[in-house]
Structures are given as structure tokens and as C-alpha cells.
Amino acid sequence: MSLPSALLETLSHRLGPRGLLTEGGDLAPYLKEQRGRLTSRAHAVARPDTTETCAAVVRLCAEAGVAIVPQGGNTGLVGGAVAGEGELVLSLDRMTRIRTIDPLNFTLTCDAGCLLAEVQSAATHMGRLFPLSLAAEGSCRIGGVLSTNAGGVGVLRYGPARDLCLGLEVVLPDGRIWDGLRALGKDNTGYALRHLFIGAEGTLGIITGAVLKLFPAPRETATAFCALDALPRVVDLLALARERGGDTVTAFEVLPRMGLEAAIAHLPDGRDPLEAPHPWYALVEMTSARADGGLTELLTATLAEALERGIIADATVAASQDQAASLWALRECLSDAQKPLGGSIKHDVSVPTAQVPAFIEAASAAVLRAMPGIRPCPFGHLGDGNIHFNLTQPEGMDTGAFLDRWAEMNRIVHDIATAMGGSISAEHGIGLFKVEDLARHKGPVEMDMMRAIKAALDPRNTFNPGKILPTA
Amino acid sequence: MSLPSALLETLSHRLGPRGLLTEGGDLAPYLKEQRGRLTSRAHAVARPDTTETCAAVVRLCAEAGVAIVPQGGNTGLVGGAVAGEGELVLSLDRMTRIRTIDPLNFTLTCDAGCLLAEVQSAATHMGRLFPLSLAAEGSCRIGGVLSTNAGGVGVLRYGPARDLCLGLEVVLPDGRIWDGLRALGKDNTGYALRHLFIGAEGTLGIITGAVLKLFPAPRETATAFCALDALPRVVDLLALARERGGDTVTAFEVLPRMGLEAAIAHLPDGRDPLEAPHPWYALVEMTSARADGGLTELLTATLAEALERGIIADATVAASQDQAASLWALRECLSDAQKPLGGSIKHDVSVPTAQVPAFIEAASAAVLRAMPGIRPCPFGHLGDGNIHFNLTQPEGMDTGAFLDRWAEMNRIVHDIATAMGGSISAEHGIGLFKVEDLARHKGPVEMDMMRAIKAALDPRNTFNPGKILPTA
């Protein structure tokens, strides 16, 4: 089923040649699915350059009964921007204006199509910080970041995208524009509509603009790489770091020996930052806007206390920005570093932070029971209880045969996370790939509420149908 | 219209003698309306002691078609807990268990009926901080705090109640229980339902339990009282304090000379902290979990820089906790201190922080044009752009005649706030008193969405009907 030709003609007229793509080569980047599991089937991509044009496209599609798949940078990992037959992709990639920056108000207002990196850099130029940072920041767009409530490495201190947004502009399924671009620290006038659209993955509205919160620029950073002989101690280390450092603790990542070894092998100048091998590592970062120094001393003293109390076995504090960057590289390359080891079945789960060690232990044992030789490589944002519980294939196993057991492994891991009060998608969302998982892990009460909200705001199910909730 | 006697009998049987109140003396505290503008008309108050009992009450009322007004500490200021004829008040005041505290997870799970002060103190006993703090903390309850998204003096650093809640347990209008008591730092599995209930003032569900975020306990506090000769400089002072102090800036309050004079007259040991009078003052508080000191020096250096740059005219930094408490007393007594000056017409507005001076100037001029001699006494949470724009009556005017012009003054002030992208209710919510204002200041798109959500989750309009949205 392709799109009605009358609609395409009207859209082409309204959007101009750059605004409507229908040729294969032009379409390719919009149809790509990052995990390589699916191909998007859209025959056209609409690229409005203003909110009003976006609303016009939505109205035209509503009249024609055509469903719309909103798309930011198309960097999502759960198929949330994949279009089905007869659906139109609506890309925000021509709406890239930073509308205003107000450093005294600590806010920035921008089009939804701005790249995350552009927003970061615009804030930096004004002496401010936009703290959201993640691997795809050079290609993901603010509308997608908000629609998926993206996380990254600064969530412990600054919260996810949701916490960094004060106001939204949204095109609704009937083509009306909601101007909720408020730049207010406090506003208790009715229901929290912006929080409904944030994280809704384009199923309730298309975010076209946002007011983002800025912070004072950090003036000092201290980074340490710590070794632990027992995983449960990592929770004590986090608590101690927060007790001693408070808000300065901005990132707290964990990785296993296997991950460190893969990273060392992967990086051209990779080397073990510590002398002896240890089973677990934590990367701790403190930052502060204060100019009166003392952060490195604070981190060093905190780690000395941790060593004395038997919480850590060893640690090194970066003596320069270069050293800090080398430590971070070990963490940041982990997804790539695991590739030479063979197939990897991935999970994006969270549990209460204090439960992470118990979760890793239980889930590792369970997958090993189901598949002897499987190599769990759990790493990630311990500060948020969010672990990328990656499973590397057993040595020598056929990769295809291993990956065929993706759903089985997911089920084992997700059941354990759910039993611990956890989430089956801490960062990446539900999209298309986790729709069935969601229904399985949420109770009927919550599913009913979500369906009721979807029906209330998108009664004809024309916005990203089949994402988050199955199309009935 | 009183309640059906069959329902009362069943409720009495289910709830026991302490669980259902029907006598005038017993009912009085639940029927009181804090502003004294209305009297609640409920003939009965149900006081369930568990979530299951609360759900049973809701089911019984749903069957009988009786509307429910949920109530926490009944400390709200907009009539949100006032019941109409034939409505049942459901008080959470017997659900007061702290269910669990997990200091390693930095979370506390409690019944909705816990007093805010009890939660603060339970956290403190575990070496943690629950940062929400407001005047009614000794009598307001967590369910009400969340249902109204309460603010207070720490919002600048910690956010309002919404930002301090990770999970909720809610009884829905059909009597089902939603167990959303998650203690997760990250969770991207579908719509943000908890954010719908937070701030919904009991119109969508009854919050019966919550998971709250805790923070490291502060180890050091520095407090200063600053004088400014020009109001616009207060925004520069806030920006400078945040640039130099970052996250340590936890409170930033502003008050005019008139407010300080009223406070000095009101307090038994009230005195001007500074030598000469100045038109505007800012109270700045920095706190830190760090034990390595330097906060008083940081604040002193920041204020020296502000003095040198002409941002402030004078300042004093508290040399002891007692001195800090005296400075805070000047701010905290302001509502009471204004009473001897006569009638006061109140506003709870916010604008973007950087716009506060322009707002105060424009709104003061406008009300003076409408009523010569009126005395604006704007004060409050400048750090959040939230000003309690109180108007004291002209000297010698009849108080009744002055208060009769409440709606007229509200309209003038709210129109100016709205034109600046502000809110007509930054802290207190909509309740009953601001329902008409809300409809006037929100566009039709937003009102339509709110009505659609209310209809989706409470189709029979039995939960706090007429609050936030008018009953059709």
C-alpha cells in the first residue's frame, strides 16, 4: 500500500522539492533501522521547516487517513521511528533553529530538529551547561531526545531529558498546535501535559519545539577509576561518594573485568589503569561550578576512606584532562569493544540502585543455566540502577544460532528485573521491539490507563501506530 | 442532599467507628477551608487505614454514584479539598506508615497520609535529606504534597514535589489499585502516568503511597542577607551566585523594604540586619554535603564580587546558625507580618526568572493605577520566578471594600503574568478558586486536552468534581 497520489501531490506543493522525499536514495537514511532488524517501508518522507508547515502536513494526512511516523535523528534502538506500509515519515531535520538563549534565565528554546550537540555547544558559548550527553549526541535531535526521555551519563545528577525540559510545543493528531513553550521554574495550572508527550515516542503528538533548562558551567572536574573485589561494594562506594561529595557526583559507571579487557584490546592506546586485575571497576566523576578548587582532593580523600574501609581494592585519580579522557574512553568504547567477541544479546534494564549487584548475580546465573558458556558483560550507569546487561556468545558458538535465542534470554533477564521492581527498558523506550514485552511486564491496570490516554489524545491512532501499544 | 444511608451503613461497617465520621464536631477540621472563603458541605468523612480499604470505599461510592473529595492535611489554599453537597470526604490521615527507607538507594516509601515533617525527620535519622520544605510541613501530608505538586524554598536546587517522587500507588475512580511504586532512577516503559497524578489535585486518582527521592544530608550551610538598590540587579545576583556556587545555591528569596519593615515590627526580636535602609533584599542560602568546608568563604567572596560590580549595595553573611535562623525568620514571617497592615489580596504567580523585575514593576504600576494607595508587597522564591505578589490595602480604606475588589486585582495581575509567559498559579494549584481563571488563561487546545484526559481516567467525574476543570 503506497500513499494516495493526491496527498503526495498536495504535500509536494506545500513542502517544496527539499521538503518531500520520494526517491530511494533520498529515503535511505530515513528508512534505516539502527539494530538492523527491520526495514522501514515508507514511500515518502515529509520534512517541514516550520511548526505551521508541520501542522499542515498533519492536517492533510488526517484528512487522508494516513498515519505518521515522526522522526528525529533516527538513532533510536527499539524501532520507534520505523514506518509501516502506507505510513508517512515526518522528519524534523529541517527544523534546526535555536530560537532563544537566555543565560540569566538559564533556559534555551529551540526547534525539535536541533542536534543535541548543537544545543550543548550553544549553551557552552553562553557560559552555561546543557548536561544531557550520550553516544549519539552528534546525530540525535532534541525532539527525539525528549520523545524517548533519553538518559546518558549525567542522569545521576541532572536527571533524564524529562527533568531538563520546562516547556514544549507540540503538533497534535488533529493538526492543532499546543503552545506549551513555558520557561517557568514553577507552574501548577492543571495536568502535566508536557510530561505526557515526553517519553511517548511520538504516539501522542509531534514535539516541534522545547524550552530546555541550562545549568552553570562546570569549572572543575575530577575523575577516578576504582577497582572492587566484590560487586556489592560498588553500592557502598556510590553512597560514600554522594555522602562526601553530594551534588558533585555527576557520573558513576560500572564495568566488569571482561569489559575492561575488551576495551583495552579495542583501543589503540588501551592499557589497564591499575596494576593488578580486579573483577569489577567503577568510573567516578565529580564536577563543580565552584572555582575555589578542592575537587581532586575531595575525590582522593573519599577514595582513601573507601580503601581504608575495604570498599575498594585500588584506585587511580586522573591527574590531567587527558588522563580523564583515557579513563572515559575505556567505558565509552564498551559497545564497540564487545563486537570482536561475537554476537551480543542486549538488555537495557534498571532496578533500584541498591539492588544492582543482586540483579547482576541472579541474572548472570540464570542465563548461564540456560546457556552454558554465555558471557555476561554487564556495564553502565550504576548511579541510576541502569545496567546494559549485554550477553556475549559462548566461545566457538555459531553467532546466528546464538542470536536466535535473543527472545529467550530477554525473557529470563526481564523476568528477574521485573521481580526486583525493575524496568525492562530503562533508557531506550519501547518502540516496536518491546511492545509485547511491555504488555507482559505491566499489569492490566497500567495498560488500561495507557490505552485510555492514547485513545483520548489520538482517537484515530494515526500517530506512530503500533509503537508502545499494539494496534488493536 | 446528604449521602445515601445504605452507603453510610456499609461504610461504617467496613471502616469502623474511627474510620467514618459523621458528627459535627468530628467533621469540623475536615470541613475547614484555609482561606475562610467557603465551608465544605460534606456530611461524612471516610478515613481508611489501608490502600485496600481505600479502594473498597471508592468502589462502594462508585456503585452508589457518590463523588469523593480526597484530602491530605487540608492545608491547601485554593479550596481543592472542599466538598460539595452529597460528596464524601476521603481523608488519608490514618494512613501514616513509613513503609521502608533504603539509605543506599536514597529512597523512602510511605503511605500518602504521612506528614511531610515526619518524612523529613525519618530521612534525617538515616543520614539523608528529603529536601521539600514549606510552611505547612507540620500538618500537610505527602499525598496532598504530591497531588498539588508543592514547592517551597528548595525548588531552585531540588525541584518541586514532582521531581522528588519516583513512584506512586494510586486508587483509580473505578476502585482498582495501580501499583506504580517503583524506586527507579530510569524507566522508559510507556507513558509517564505518575506525572499525570502528581499535580492533578485528586481529580484523576487518590494517591495512597509514594516512593520519594532522598539526598545526601547537607553538612554545611551559608546564609546571607543582601541589599539591592535596584530590583533588576537581583537577577544578576542570582546568576552570579549560581555561576560561582553552582549546585550549592539552594534558596534565593526576595523581599521589599516594606516587607522587611513589617517583619521587624512583627518579630519580638526583629531588627534590620543591615545599617541603612534599601528598597530590595535577597536572602541567599548555600548548602553542601561536602565536609571540606569553604562555603562561608565562597558566599563571602561571591558577595564581595557582587558589591564590587555594583550588583548589591550591602550584605551580611550569617556567622552562626542562630544568625542564619534570624535572617530566615524575616522571610518566613512575611505572610503573618502583613496582617496588621490590613486586608491583603494575594497572588501566586510565576514568570521566567529573568522577567521577575519587569513583572513586579508592570504589575505594581497597574494595580496602583486601578487603586491609588494600594501597597504591593511582592516577595518569594525569585530563584524559581515565583512571586507571592501580595497587595496590602491602602491606609485607612475599609478592609471589606478592599477585599471586594479581589477578583478585579487578580485579573489585572494575572493578565500581566500571562502576557509574560507566566503562570497564574505557580505553587498552590487551581482547586475550586481558580477554575474560571484557568479557563481564561489557558488556550482551548490545552483545555481540550485536559478535559479529554479527565474523561479518559474519570469518565463519571466522581473524583474531586469541579476542581481544576468545571463540571460541565
Digits of tens for pLDDT over chain A (472 positions)? 579 999 999 999 999 989 999 998 999 999 999 988 888 889 999 999 999 999 999 999 999 999 999 999 999 999 999 999 999 999 999 999 999 999 999 999 999 999 999 999 999 999 999 999 998 999 999 999 999 999 988 899 999 999 999 999 999 999 999 999 999 999 999 999 999 999 999 999 999 999 999 999 999 999 999 999 999 999 999 999 999 999 999 999 999 999 999 999 999 999 999 999 999 999 999 999 998 879 999 999 999 999 999 999 999 999 999 999 999 999 999 989 999 999 999 999 999 999 999 999 999 999 999 999 999 999 999 999 999 999 999 999 999 999 999 999 999 999 999 999 999 999 999 999 999 999 999 999 999 999 999 999 999 999 999 999 998 7
Residue A145 to residue A130: CA distance in whole angstroms = 13
Query: B205 with B179: CB under 8 angstroms?
Result: no
Whether residue A192 and residue B179 make contact (CB cut-off 8 A), yes or no, is no
Whether A289 and B243 lie within 8 Å, measured CB to CB? yes
What is the nearest CA distance from B351 to chain A, expressed in angstroms?
6
**How are the residues of chain B apportioned to helix, strand and coil, as percentages rounded to the nearest 5?**
40, 20, 40
Residue among B184, B246, B383 minimizing CB distance to A288: B246
Average pLDDT of chain B, as a whole number: 96
Q: What is the rounded average pLDDT of the residues B443-465?
A: 97
Mean pLDDT of B186-198: 97
Which pLDDT band holds residue B1 (cuts at 50, 70, 90)?
low
Least confident of A206-215, B150-159, B314-323: B150-159
C-alpha grid cell, residue A415 = 523476568
Entry field: residues in chain B: 472
List CB contacts (< 8 A) between A205 and chain B: none
**Minimum Cα–Cα distance from A151: chain B residue:** B186
Gap between the Cα atoms of A440 and A442, Å rounded: 6
pLDDT of B439 > 70? The answer is yes
pLDDT on residue B288: 95
The pLDDT of residue B39: 85
Cα angle, residue B462 at apex, residues B458 and B464 outer, rounded to 5°: 100
Residue A253 pLDDT: 96
Q: Tell me, what's the ipTM?
A: 0.97
Q: Nearest CA to A344 among A76, A153, A77, A33?
A: A77
Across the interface, do A192 and B196 touch by the CB < 8 Å criterion? yes
Q: What whole-number distance in Å separates Cα of residue B284 and Cα of residue B302?
A: 11
Across the interface, do B442 and A189 touch by the CB < 8 Å criterion? yes
Q: How confident is the model at residue B2 (pLDDT cuts 50, 70, 90)?
A: confident
Q: Which of B174, B177, B187, B442 to mutate to test the interface with A (most CBs of A within 10 A)?
A: B187
**Considering CB atoms only, which of B157, B190, B246 is closest to A438?**
B190
User: Exposure string (b/e) for B13-51, b if CB count within 10 Å is 16 or more?
Assistant: eebeeebbbeeeeebeebbebeeeeeebebbbbbbbbeb
| Ordered strands of the A206-213 beta sheet | A98-102, A107-111, A206-213, A165-171, A177-180
The residues pairing with A178 across neighbouring beta strands, listed in sequence order, are A170
Name which of B52, B69, B71 is nearest B61 in CA terms: B69
Residue of A nearest to B467 (CA): A190
Q: What is the dihedral of CA A89, A90, A95, A96, to 10 degrees?
A: -40
3-state helix, strand, coil in chain A (%, to 5): 40, 20, 40
Which residues have a Cβ under 8 Å from the Cβ of B433 and sit 6 or more positions away? Answer: B35, B37, B78, B79
Residue A65 has a CB neighbour count (10 Å cut-off) of 11
Taking alpha carbons only, the member of B94, B76, B93 closest to residue B40 is: B76
What is the spatial distance between Cα B211 and Cα B247, in angstroms, rounded to a whole number? 24
User: Is pLDDT above 90 for B54?
Assistant: yes
Which pTM was predicted? 0.97
pLDDT, residue A292, reads: 80
What residue of B is the nearest CA neighbor of A217?
A: B243
Mean pLDDT of B351-358: 97
Q: Which residue do the cell numbers 560590580 mark?
A: B309
The span from the CA of A87 to the CA of B375, in Å, is 60
- Region B205-217 average pLDDT: 98
Best of B171, B186, B219 to disrupt the A interface (most A CBs within 10 Å) is: B186
Q: What are phi and psi of A360, to 5 degrees?
A: -60, -40
**Which residue among B156, B185, B192 places its CB closest to the CB of A198?**
B192
Contact residues for A374 (Cβ-Cβ < 8 A; gap 6+): A367, A368, A391, A392, A393, A394, A409
Chain A residues with CB under 8 Å of B467 CB are none
Do the beta carbons of residue A327 and residue A283 sit within 8 Å?
A: yes
Q: A184, B248: Cβ pair inside 8 Å?
A: no
Q: In what order do the strands lie in the sheet with B206-213?
A: B98-102, B107-111, B206-213, B165-171, B177-180
Q: Cell triple for residue B37?
A: 472563603
Number of Cβ within 10 Å of residue B97's Cβ equals 14
Distance from C-alpha of A126 to C-alpha of A106, rounded to nearest angstrom: 10
Mean pLDDT of B292-304: 93
Return the pLDDT at A267.
Answer: 96
Q: Do B235 and A104 touch (CB under 8 A)?
A: yes
Q: Does the distance separating the beta carbons of B352 and A183 come in below 8 Å?
A: yes
Mutate to test the interface with B, among A149, A188, A206, A420 (most CBs of B within 10 A): A188
Distance CA A20, CA A39 (A): 20
Task: Round to whole Å and give the CA distance between A110 and A166.
Answer: 12
Q: How far A95 CA sits from the closest chain B CA (Å)? A: 23
